[in-house]
Every structure is written in C-alpha cells, then in structure tokens.
Structure 1
C-alpha cells in the first residue's frame, strides 16, 4: 500500500477510535471509585481518599456533568463513618483508624492521573481521563501488533477495534486495559516471548485477577513449543535471561500486588471476593448465559469473532492444520480459564456496553489467535476473513440498538426483546437478567419476586422461585394458580413457566413445607440430633454430624430443598447426605438442592457434616465453648403429588386475562 494510503488509513482509524471513545462518554460501572483514586493520586500522590478529596470531586461533578455521582460523593464520608470497618459501601471501605480506600485496586487510576490533571486544567469533564487513557492503550496495542504482524497490522488493528474494544473505549473502568493486556500477552506467547506475556497478564490481573490464571498456560505453551517449534507462528522475540527474569518477576509481583495491598491495609487479601462473589454461581447455565445470552452474551456482542474463526476453518489455505488446531485449543482454554471466575459475580446483570464486560476481555485470547492467522493467508482469503468479522460486528451493533440509544442494562436489547416475545419457550435467560431488565430496576431480588413477560397484551412467560409457587404474578385471579405444561428449571430454584399459560385451582397439597427455626417454634421438632438450643433467628449445629428428620404429608414426595443460614468463622460449606445418599458439598447460606433419585419414603432424612466445626473459644474469639459450624434459619421442602397430577379445571389465558 502506498505511503499516502497508509497514512489515510491510520488517520481514519484514529478518527473512528476517538469518536468511539469520546462520544456519549459518562461515568459507567465502577467509574466513581477509579475517578476518586485518579483525583487522589493527582492531589497528593496516594490511593488514600480523604474527606477533602470527596468534597473536591463532588464539586467538580455538580450540575450537568454527573448529578448522581455528585450526590453520592457528597454523602459518602458520613455514610462510611456509620459503616463497620472493612465493609464495602458504594465501592469504598474504611479501616479501623478511619482511613478510606476504594475496594478496587488503584493501578488503572494511577495510569489515568496525568490525563485527569490535564482534563481538570482544561476545565472539561474529568471522567474523560479514562477514555483518553483507553485510546492510549489502544495505540500501544496497535504498535505491538505492527511489530508482531508487520504484513497484516492494518487489518488486525481493525479486527481488534471492532471486537468489543470500540464498545468500551468510552468506559470509565479497566476493561480496555485488561483486554489489551490479554490480547497482547497472547500475541507474545505466539512469538515465544513468554516473559513479556507473563508481565502483561500480571498488569491486567491487577484490575481483573482471573487474568493471572492463564500464566501457567503460557508456560505450558512455551514448553510445548520446545517439542513442536511450529506452534510459534509469529516472529520470535529474543531477550536476555536477565530481561526474561525481570519481566516475569514484574508480572507475578503485579498480580500479587492487590492482595498484598489490601492485606496490609484491611487484614484481608480482597474486599471484593467475600462480598460480591459466590463460587456456587459457577454453573453450566451461567456459562451458557456468558456466551449465548441475547442481552449481554459474547455471541450477541462479538459475532465477528465466531464468524472469523469459522471463516478460517473453512478456508484452510496455506495453514498447517495441526498447528492451527493446537493454537486454537490453547486460545480456547485461555478464554475458559479467564472466564470461569467471572461466573461467580453476584451482580450478573451489571453495567455493560452491548456485551458483558467480562466477556469482552475474556474473549481476547481467541481474538489474538484470530489475527495471528491473518499473515499466513493470501490477500483475498485474508480480506474474506476480515470482511466476515466486520459484517458480523455491524449486525451486532444494529441488533443492540447502539446506533440510536445508549445501551442500558435495565432494558432488554432490541434483539433480545424481539426473540423473547417471538420464541418465549426457547429462551430462558439468567433470572437476574430477566427480572431486572423486565422491571427496568435494579431492586433487590428475593424468592418472592415474580416477573411476567407479555407479548401483544398476552402473558407468555412467567419466572418465579419454586418456594413461591402460589404467586401468579397477577396473571390469575385470587384463588386460582397459573400452570403450564412447559416448565423449565434454572439455577438456584428459579423456574420459567412458558406459554400457553392457564389458570387452574391451586393444589394445596403441593405447597412447599416451610420450616422457620427462629425461636422455640414447632419447626424444631424436625431437628433430630446434633443441634443446639433455639435462638432468636435460628439454631446452630452442635456436632460434626447433624440430622434433620421431616415427616412428609401423605401422598407427597420431596423433590427439592431450600436452605437459608450462615456459617461460623472459617466454615464455608456442608457435606450433605439426603436419605442416606451423598448429595455433595454445598454452601447452605442460600442454597437450592435437588433430592437424589430413589424410592420415596414417608420421611425425609437430611444429614449435614462439618469436619471443620469449632468453638469460639478455640478460635480465640470469645469464651463460648459450644461447637459451631452452621446456623440454620429456614428450610423449605418442595413437594409433588406422588403418581398423580394436580387436578382442577384450567382455562387458557388470553388477552383479556392479565393484560396490562
């Protein structure tokens, strides 16, 4: 390509990236925290947040810039003084002496501090410091791309920009930083530059820790490449042993940095993991949501990635099939490893730009693999692959409504809204996504929450928890129960009732048995052995083995259990046996368990085992010598009529019944 044409291409590219970064830029996600830290580093060179910092930034954001952030910051210090030390509150936490820090690590804000200083000096929106930093990171990634793919850097840069990066350039959080690190680190692995790959992964892990988990995979690829040199498909980088050791050490130190920082300040390695993640949420359905959800899934936001990979598989020209397959497997494993911890996020339906932000940077190893193949393709097949990526991404932008509205996690995307109405029985999103986007509110979701989807005034889909089976969500009149032959069970006891819906007489016998252990009520009769006496809100286990024995109503069998409670000190889970059969290890803080299949008897026997039970005296917490492990507050048992279906006249619901 002539020099003038190349210059014009990069000028147009820079213009598009700048527009994507600046247009509609406002504070998103955890931007308040990062902006506060950027101000603190600019004002006094520290991540410590003082009352003066809150007051100053609140004044900057007053008026048209961000009134909501202004109000939050104006009240933050007083509210944090009333919050227990170490407990996060709106993204901040205080220490015992009263010092305030953000709950996210500060490296991204430190990098943005120079841009923040310039923005304040110019009198423009200070939050623009993050899009400016993101554009700089994009530029650095493109420079690295040019070094790695000198013959295909222009098309590779366009692919990288289109695969989610254009969505998040305006974002006031570290998504672009994480994505650039994951993308460039994977490119480094394919150049046998493993030490730089580790360094970049460590830097990205300061903000999104799961990126550190692929460091062992990088090392494994390096070892495999010693036996199969063809796995290194890009120009090899040669570094001295001292440089490799230095870069690798820096990467590992960076990955460990956040944990050491928060442990030194708060005495715990993380303020986020204990309060905002739950490993029990890592399920197959959550993984499917991560990829396929039409509101925020990877496929909906990044179809170009899958189109490009499919095009490469179809072309196969000038490619070593074994190497292509091996590196594709490596990139896929890297994506899965990075994505898995993100599935534990409690706030699944959170702030996004077209697609889930976790999905954006988790896909970068595959995106890097995709562009790494481009130099090996002749010009025409290369343009076919890039064309497939760009066309698919344009369709994603149109399908998301990004061209005519700002994406909002409290409303369904146009494509999802249409698909849910057209095919309600085939789409069953994660309950949090369905409820919050349906209600257009981030209100608290409890087991009593019910959400109904209407299409042309007719209810076609209802979501509720099985412990709330009598609630029709307003679809049926009092004394009648909504029913359907199409029930889809999803995670944690939630169920979709898909149309056609009908109203029938409620089956009284199938109402769940609810046992509350607050006080000395009748529910304590089911506690067979291994329990302490009643307390105001529940009861503690008193032994390493505790039994619950429940007499079931005549003609009924149990199909599921719902626990509510909490654990003592270091205890995190219970070994559960139901009717003598192992049911696995479970956290019973808030848990839904299925009854193992087997002959149904008149009783339900539940056994809880806690090998790590201990007393407060043993832990040095108090003089209490009671052996404690699990505090049971409530237990609900799901029932169904044995060998018989619930009876009662049913009437299909039409537009007149429950239309709204």
Structure 2
C-alpha cells in the first residue's frame, strides 16, 4: 500500500494581495451591518466598557454611567439592578455578575473576548462610529485569521475562499453579528486544526488556546491534534514508530504547551478572583442534567441540532469516506480514521455542555455549542480536499447550495419557537420528535419557563392536541389532564424522556380512575397518620416545595405503613432527592431485598403478595460525614418528600391493569 501525497502545498504566489482583498471584503461587511447585541450581551458589553475605561474587567459605577449613554434602552432595567447591587455590596448584584474574593464585581464569563473587543471599541468610538460594532469587528478579524490559515493550507486563493464560504454556511454567517465568542471559538479552532496538520504547530497551539479561553471544552483540541497528526504522518513503509516520533518533535510539543498555557489563563484568573477554577461550572452547570436525551438533542434536535445545521457537510463526509469501498487501501483507511477521530472530538466537545442549566439558551438556528463543536467535521472535509489535486466542482457547488439552504432555514425561527421542520414533523408524525423537555416547554410557551414537576405542557395545531408533556413525579397529572376521578388509559401513545418527563401523543384517552393513590407527605409524617418514620430519620421539616419532608440520618432508615384492605396496588413510590455523593439506595420491603435503586428515577417498587403492612428499609450509599466542630451532626443522604401507593392503572375498558 502507498500513502497519499500529503506534503504541504506550495505557498500562494501573492499572499499580500489575498490578504488585502479579504480585508477590503470584511471591511465592507463591517460598514454595511448594524451591531447586534446578542448572547449574554449584558456581561460582555459591560466587561468591554470596563476594559476600555480602566484596563480591568471590574465593573464600576462609572462603567454603568457610560453604558447608559451607549447601550439601547432595553438594557436599563439590568443596569438599574446592577447599580443597586453595587450600592448594597451584594454578593450577586445581578444574575451573571459576582463579587470576587477581593470585593470587585465581575461578570460570570472570562474577560478575554471583551478585552479583545476593547481595541476596536475605542477605535470605532474615536472615529465617531457606533462603538458596539466592536464585536462584529472582532468576529471579522477572526474570519480574517481563518482566511489566511486556509490560504496557507491550500496555497490557492480560490480554494481558500471556498473554505471560508463553507465555514460561513456551516454556522459562521448565523453567529457573525453576535456579541458573544461563538464565532471566535469556531474560527480559531478550525484554524488551529488546519495549521496543526500543515506544519505550523506553534501558531496552531496559540490559536487553539485562544479558542478555549471562552469555551473551555475547546481545549480538547490539544488532545486530538496529535492523534490527527499521527494519522497524517503514518506511512506504510515507515510504520507507526516513525509517525509517533514526528509528533514528538520539540516544535510540536512546544505548540501543545503554548496552547495549554494560553488556555490556563482563564482557570488561573478564576482561582485568584473566586477561589475556584471555573465560576461558570459552579453556578451554571449540574452534572445530574447530563443525559442521552440531551446528547441526542445536541446532534439531532430539529431546531438546534448540529446535523440539522450541517446536513450537506455530514452527507459529503459519509460519501467521500466510503467512496472507494473496501479497495481504498491506506488512503481509505486514513480518511476513515480521520473521520472517526473528528466524530470523537465533537463528542468530547459536546459532552461537558450537557450539564448546563439553560439547555434552550438563545441561539441562531444551530445551538451555540453545536456550531463550534462541528468544526472537526469541517476540518476533515477541508483536509481531504487539501489532499485532492482535482476538486469535484459540481459536487462542491451542490454542497455550498445545500448549506446555503440550511442557513436560510435557520434564520426563519428562534429558540423559543418550533422550526418549520419541527412543526411539519409534529403535524405528520409526532411520535418521531420528542425534544429535550426544556426545549419543548419553552417553544410551546414562547418564553423562558421554570421546569418544575407540576408543569403540564400541551402543544396544539389547528385546535387539536398534538403532544402533551407531564412529569411522572406529579401524581396529580392524570387528574389535571382527565378530570376528577379519571385517569390516563394504558393504551395512550406514551414515551419517557429525561428527568421523569413523559410525552403522550395525540388526543388523550381517559378512563375511570378507580381507587385513588394513597399518598403520605409532610402532614402525615408529622401526625404519624398511616405512616411512621421510625429509626434513621430527622424531625420532619417544612422548607416549602421539594423541601417539605425529612432527611435521613445515618446509614439506614426505616418506615412502616399499613395497607388498606381490599386495595389493588401496582407498587410503591419513594419520592425525594439525594445529598451530594449519593445517587442510589438499597431498598428492602418486609425483608425482601430489592437491590440498589435510584429513587430519583421513581422506580415502582413491588409489594409483597397478601401483605397488610409494610416495613420499608433504606440503606444509604454515602451518608454525609460532618466535620469536627460543625453544629449540625446529622449524617444525611436522602430527603424523603413522599411515599405513594400507586393503584393498578385502568385498562381502556376500565378494568384494573398491571404496573404502568
């Protein structure tokens, strides 16, 4: 087998001319487009003002006064609250702004993007232009860097312009105007990937580090860049050892070290200012939110999914990688390995984002994180084209045209409504589309909502119920949907989603409920009415909402309750939530060991046949160990909100059935 000829192409004959042409084109875009303050605009604009005014990201009263004269009026409410918070020495003067260990108020985000924007801010202000075009100017500067990187890789101005056009049609145009770092991360990450395999590891490392300053998961570039380079360096006649040796050359190691050093600026700054490496990770993420549903949504959601935004790119890669079939030899194996690495890199970039609180954050079609996470896929396509002496022009024009259609489609809707494609699927095949629950609720309501278990969301088209979403922890949901004494029939078209949420498609079928559920909550715990919290429980407490109940105390806790005679029950639900470090409980009912159960997922626990009373024993996974000197000595693990005996769900004919 012989290797593909992967030596870098000759340098462009006139890079200065290309740079001038590209610069003029980008300046024309800057002159012709108004500023758009989108994407955490309050945080980034105030940090830019602060850096421009006094070269620090600290938000001061003078910065707020300047902001009132420069920002649109819809920022006034936030400025009022932030100003009051400064006067009150509040720890959190405004959502998104926090007081540091040194008493300064700073935005939640790292300030690098705003600091880079401060220079065009001052230049535009001095020229009498709207200074908040600075973000467009900075984004265009990043596009310029990408253009010059493409020229170095391809050695051809037309090919570099094609690569730039494809980048813009894979999300770049959608986020070009935003006053947030999505385009900066995407363009610098793509530039770093290209330059790394084109023999410029130092520049690649610096750009990769810059890409990760605002979106830290982009640091995975430093792990995947050597692997991608290894695929390119491998030669059948030299073997893997030679390819590995090429990757360990001093310049390559220095490039990775440079990227890591640039990336480290943000966590080191956060350590100094807030005492932890990432303030955002602490206040804006929750690992319990990570789920397969969110991961599927990241790629395939019909509004914001990555592959919905880059459909032609994905199809091209699949077709190109498999075009030669089994006889492709080393060239085909190299293409497949590069594609698999790129897919793995998108996963590495995607998975940490699954923990963010606001999954339905403001977006321009494709989700912000999915935009820059798609860059490894675009890199592989451009890398394959770099190795191809003759480009398939008709196919590439079709690729651009299809991506242009995808971009135009993305501009037709926003994150608080269903896209035309999503509406069409919901109309014709609602069972095929079950969005992540937050996405569904906010698109139906056309606004931000608090996704509490009590919420029931119904989507209708032309006055007909299309899809209903409720939470399984809401034991009153069936009564709310069907009316008193009624319940959802077992033959409804239902599908479970993340966080105990359940979808029901089409019109609801309801039947007589039969016996109601028996529910034991705070009032019953306090009065010992039908239920007895025995050993291993703290005194029941009333904290409101999910904090009405009792904490476990110790390694195990037990509960006893009587079973009413003649009742037909499908099983027992134990409803509550865990303290940090706990996620499961060993359950025994009347001595029968049911194994370790994740009670947050509401497993229906089977009841012993013929029993008239139940003894429930809960063995806790990792009770909290209070440190010496702490006044509260409880060893808490699980907070019990409710115990419910679930009646067997009725069948369509009204007869009792089995477990739901």
Pairwise TM-score range, normalised by the shorter structure: 0.7 to 0.9
- Deviations 1:315-366 (CA, angstroms, capped at 9, x unpaired): 4499810100111111111111011001111111110001100100111111
Match 2:194 to one of 159, 162, 187: 187
How far apart are 1:636 and its partner, in Å?
5.5
Separation of aligned partners in 1, 2:277 and 2:391: 52
Given the two structures, how large is their TM-score scaled by the length of structure 2?
A: 0.83
Deviation at residue 9 of structure 1 after TM alignment: 13
TM-fit CA distance, 1:141: 0.9
Note the C-alpha offset of 1:526. Answer: 5.3
Measure the CA separation in 2 of the matches of 1:480 and 1:465: 17
Report whether the alignment pairs 1:458 with 2:464: yes
Q: Is the 8 A contact 1:563 1:634 kept in 2?
A: yes
Q: How does 1:510-529 map to 2 (within 5 A)?
A: 511=517, 513=519, 515-516=521-522, 520-522=526-528, 525=531, 527-529=533-535
1:645 aligns with one of 622, 646, 651: 651
2:48 to 38, 44, 51: 38
| Contact 1:560–1:637 (8 Å) recurs in 2 | yes
8 Å CA contact 2:169–2:407 kept in 1: the answer is no
Change (3 A) 1:343 1:18: farther
Give CA-to-partner distance per residue, 1:440-471, whole Å, 9 cap, x none: 11132211111111122111211111233544
Who is 1:114 aligned against? 119
- Residue equivalent to 1:573: 582
Q: Does 1:156 align with 2:163?
A: yes
C-alpha distance after superposition, 1:143-186 (max 9, x if no partner): 01111122432322221121111111111101011112321232
- What is the Cα deviation at residue 264 of structure 1? 1.4
Distance 1:378 1:241 in 2: 29
- From 333, 352, 358, the equivalent of 2:363 is 352
Which of 234, 259, 264 matches 1:251? 259
Change beyond 3 A, Cα 1:261–1:516:
farther
Separation in structure 1 between the aligned mates of residue 205 and residue 530 of structure 2, nearest angstrom: 55
| Number of equivalences | 621
**Within the alignment, does 1:145 sit opposite 2:143 as a pair?**
no
Contact 1:163 1:393 in 2 (8 A): yes
Could you report, residue by residue, the CA deviation over 1:414-450 in whole angstroms, capped at 9, with x for unpaired residues? 2212221222222111111111111111132211111
- Pair 1:556-2:565 in alignment: no
Give the drift of 1:221. 4.3
The residue that corresponds to 1:369 in the other structure is 380
Residues 116 and 27 of structure 1: CA distance in aligned 2, closer, same or farther (over 3 Å): same
How far does the alpha carbon of each residue in 1:371-407 deviate from its partner, in whole angstroms, 9 at most, with x for none? 11113335452x244234223223323433x2xx5x4
**Shift, 1:280, TM fit:** 1.9
- For the pair 1:304 / 2:312, whether they are aligned, the reply is yes
CA distance in 2, matches of 1:536, 1:178: 47
1:290 to 295, 298, 305: 298
Change (3 A) 1:55 1:20: closer
Quick check: 1:614–1:628 contact (8 Å CA) kept in 2?
yes
Normalised TM-score (structure 1) = 0.83
Q: Secondary structure at the match of 1:320?
A: helix
Change (3 A) 1:523 1:110: farther
2:342 is aligned with 1:331: yes
Give 1:475-624 correspondences, 5 Å limit: 476=482, 480-481=486-487, 483=489, 485-509=492-516, 511=517, 513=519, 515-516=521-522, 520-522=526-528, 525=531, 527-537=533-543, 538-547=549-558, 554-558=567-571, 562-564=575-577, 567=579, 571-579=580-588, 580-583=593-596, 591-595=600-604, 603=614, 605=616, 607-611=618-622, 613-615=624-626, 617-618=627-628, 622-624=630-632
Distance 1:274 1:306 in 2: 35
Quick check: 555-564 or 247-256, which moved more?
555-564
Relative to structure 1, the CA distance from residue 207 to residue 549 in structure 2 (aligned partners, 3 Å threshold; closer, same or farther) is farther
1:596 is displaced (CA, Å) by 7.7
What is residue 243 of structure 2 aligned with on the other side? none
Larger Rg computed on CA atoms: 2
Deviates further, 521-530 or 212-221: 521-530
Match of 1:92? 97
CA distance in 2, matches of 1:213, 1:635: 43
Q: Is the CA contact 1:517–1:633 (under 8 Å) kept in the aligned structure 2?
A: no
Deviations 1:19-64 (A, max 9, x none): 5996464221212111111111110000111121122112211xxx
Distance in structure 2 (CA, Å) of the matches to 1:437 and 1:93:
30
Which position in structure 2 is the counterpart of 1:399?
Answer: 409
Distance 1:292 1:14, change over 3 A: farther
More displaced stretch, 336-345 vs 481-490: 481-490
What's the Cα RMSD here?
3.9
- Structure-1 residue corresponding to 2:3: none
Q: Does the C-alpha gap of structure 1 residues 534 and 327 become closer, same or farther in structure 2, counting only changes over 3 Å?
A: same
Q: Distance in 1 between matches of 2:530 and 2:608?
A: 26
**The 10-residue stretch of structure 1 (290-299 or 531-540) with the greater mean CA deviation from structure 2:** 531-540
The 3 A distance-change label for structure 1 pair 398 and 154 is closer
Consecutive unaligned residues in structure 2, runs of 5 or more: 1-11, 241-245, 544-548, 656-660
